[in-house]
Copies of this chain bind each other. A is one copy, B any other.
Amino acid sequence: MPQSRFLQPFLDKLMSRSILTDKEQAAVLGLSGMHEHLPAHYDFVDRGEEQISVCLVIDGLCARMGQTIAGERQITAFHMSGDMPDLHSVMVPGATSALLAVCASQIVRIPCHKLRAVALEHPGIAEALWRDTICDASISAEWIVNVGRRDAVTRIVHLLCEMAVRRARIGGNAFSFAFPCTQQNIADATGLSAVHTNRSIQMLRARHFVEIKDKVVAVLDWKKLQEFAEFDSGYMHLHGPLRFSAVH
């Protein structure tokens, strides 16, 4: 199987927000790296470990996280097919956070120097990567609001809304999508305890908002859900592709 098959979701993601020439598209698809299968619940990158390659998620679900000394975890982002959890370490090599495979996942490890090379040769790619970094940062800012100023149930709903929209972008169904997190994972993403997360999820089912069953989220009332969580997908910047650099 050619590597470009693995790179296609990544290219799609870049092109959902940025405009790339044929040549640039080919350059992205020409990237390659070690293909790896990760088992579920596997911590595959430790914080601060300087990496010589960056990860591209092909399939599955990965989480970026911070940790307190007591061992408590805080997930700061989820990454699915086409996402690069540690793209930032291409330009800031020390900027690695811990990465976890939430479920059995496939990744490709692309050497940093290769990604840098295509970015330096093609301004459009550099721009696209920069834009991708910005959108991830925008999602992070929204997470701060979520964890800082919303109550338990609302936090979980907001997270599910985000995942619904992101699943839909990569071709999934926003109203019924795989979300292979354990309740502990959801707790770690929302800054709650596992017990309280469990009770909040039960409340969501009782109120006919969402059901999470067998790692599949079923949205029962999308409109109600969005309103309840004050969810507005604008912060994910999925309106259409842009380009500022010149096309050669």
Q: Which residues of A contact B (CB under 8 A)?
A: 17, 48, 64, 66-69, 72-74, 76-77, 88, 91-95, 97, 116, 120, 123, 126-127, 129-131, 133-138, 140-145, 147-150, 190-191, 230, 234-235, 237, 239, 242, 244-246
By a CB distance below 8 angstroms, the chain B residues around A239 are 94
By a CB distance below 8 angstroms, the chain B residues around A48 are 234
Asked if B138 and A92 sit within 8 Å, CB to CB, the answer is yes
Asked if A133 and B137 sit within 8 Å, CB to CB, the answer is yes
Q: How far is the CA of A73 from the CA of B141 in the complex (A)?
A: 13
Shortest distance between the CB of A125 and any CB in chain B (Å): 12
Asked if A149 and B191 sit within 8 Å, CB to CB, the answer is yes
- In the complex formed, the residue of B with least CB distance to A64 is B141
Asked if A72 and B149 sit within 8 Å, CB to CB, the answer is yes
- Candidates B129, B141, B242, B246; contact of A140 at CB < 8 Å: B141
By a CB distance below 8 angstroms, the chain B residues around A17 are 92
Known contacts A88-B137, A116-B244; A143/B145 CB under 8 A? no
The 8 A-B residue pairs with the shortest CB-CB distance, nearest first, are: A148-B191, A66-B145, A137-B137, A140-B140, A88-B134, A74-B145, A74-B148, A130-B130
26 contacts between A and B (CB under 8 A): A64-B141, A66-B141, A66-B149, A68-B145, A68-B149, A74-B149, A76-B141, A76-B144, A76-B145, A77-B141, A88-B134, A88-B138, A91-B131, A91-B242, A91-B244, A92-B131, A92-B134, A92-B242, A95-B134, A95-B237, A120-B123, A126-B127, A126-B130, A133-B134, A144-B147, A147-B191
